């Protein structure tokens, strides 16, 4: 599988969100560890998986009444 791994700053450039917003607001609420990002080698460094994030952004544009769940699912409500 070919994935594009991005740092927080690189993701910030792509989605036009401030890197602090990604770290403080999106990480662990919208962006879920193990699905949207990983910590390689058990370290502190976070790498975001671009293809998964892009797919979820495009899908959420069509699902206006969906709530992301902590386990990676979505509640349509």
pLDDT tens, residue by residue, 14-40:
999 999 999 999 998 899 999 999 999
The whole-angstrom distance between residue 13's C-alpha and the CA centroid of its chain comes to: 14
Query: What confidence tens digit (pLDDT) does each residue in 43-64 have?
Result: 999 999 999 999 998 887 665 6
pLDDT score of 36: 96
Using 50, 70 and 90 to split pLDDT, how confident is the model at 72? confident
pLDDT score of 65: 66
User: What is the pTM for the complete model shown?
Assistant: 0.76
Contacts of 47 (CB under 8 A, 6+ apart): 5, 6, 7, 37, 38, 39, 40
CATH of domain 3-58: 1.10.1660.60
């Amino acid at each position: 599988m070919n994935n594009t791994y991005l740092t927080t700053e690189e993701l910030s450039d792509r989605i036009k969100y401030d890197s602090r917003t990604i770290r403080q607001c999106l990480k662990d609420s919208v962006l879920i560890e193990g699905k949207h990002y990983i910590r390689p080698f058990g370290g502190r460094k976070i790498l975001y998986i671009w293809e998964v994030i892009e797919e979820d952004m495009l899908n959420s544009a069509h699902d206006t009444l969906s709530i992301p769940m902590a386990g990676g699912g979505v509640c349509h409500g």
